[in-house]
Amino acid sequence: MTPEQILADIRSDRVKKVIMDGDYSAEIDDQYTLAYAYGHEKLEVLGVNAVAHYAEPRFTKTSTIVRISLGKAAEVYWGLGLSPEELPLNMGPEKQITHNNGEAVDCASARFIIEMAHKYDEPIYIITTGPCSSAVNACLMDPTIMDKIVVVWLGGNCLTDDYVGKPFHEWNMHADFKASQLLLDMDIPLIMLPCDPVGSVKIEMKRSDIDAIEGRNTPAQLLKQKLPRIDAKDADFAKPTWRKVMCDYMGVAALTLPDAMQLDIIPAPKLCDDRSYAIDESRRKIIWGTYPDSDAIVADATKALNNVVKNFPYDFGDYI
């Protein structure tokens, strides 16, 4: 799909088929974003991939982190009343493309993307809220799917003087740097949602947004009590001033509320080996999303979270 076709599609009323691909052991915004997508009437979630978040490789192996991420995603499944039988849950790569000489790493998450891309005669959106390893591995393993998917990636930082021509660190970009380079270099249809300073980092969920989640059943307790307490101590969460940056909400909102951000068609920036951006106007075009409307996006998410709570068919009792 061309960027123009993607923009037309995401602004249409068509229900989009999506795969959620996140580093669920990193921060709680991935876990909320999974619930956001699952509860939204404009999306059909086909499955979930759990990948490894960025960590210093001298201390923690990718193969260890990806298993923790899978376990955290499974906890969200339990809290939402889901099972891997009805909504496949797949483990991401146990090795970075960066540490595999730039070659594909065979993994369940990549194979699932390939399977879904060939199964449906419509574009599959891969909402990637962590490193982009799953989608890039899938495209390296089967380049024919590049005509069948669109990657929505929370990664990199905005194109400002702080990052163009100067080395910088952004967590998702660095989690598998070679995969990030390949995502921008290959002809993979891409909506890129950078973080700092006017990107996804601007989205914040407040204590009042947590309070707007209705009900007391299992998913309500997950979303209103358990997840926030992972992020904050009880004393901090009790304060009405508590808030949490929710970068990953922007990945879902790009498909459900695209007018709540600025979406431009630009040449894909080049990621140089020194971890800086370089600009080349001749490079292929991507969609670039910045300036999100935090209030509108969080309201959209809260409505979807309440759909999850409302549609929960049974209760396991207290979750905490």
Q: What's the domain range around 20?
A: 3-310
CATH number at residue 73: 3.90.245.10
Q: How confident is the model at residue 164 (pLDDT cuts 50, 70, 90)?
A: very high
What are the Cα distances from residue 215, in Å, to 75, 288, 311, 312? Answer: 19, 37, 11, 11
Note the pTM of the prediction, 2 decimals.
Answer: 0.95
Q: Give me the number of domains the chain comprises.
A: 1
- Does any domain span residue 315? no
- Does any domain span residue 293? yes
Q: How confident is the model at residue 59 (pLDDT cuts 50, 70, 90)?
A: low
The first and second tokens of residue 316, run together, are: 């396991």
Please give the average per-residue pLDDT across 31-54, as a whole number: 97
Identify the pLDDT of residue 32.
97
- Whole-angstrom distance, CA of residue 115 vs CA of residue 144: 12
Residues 96 and 176 sit within 8 Å (Cβ to Cβ): yes
- Does any domain span residue 248? yes
pLDDT over 70 percentage in the chain: 96
- Does any domain span residue 257? yes
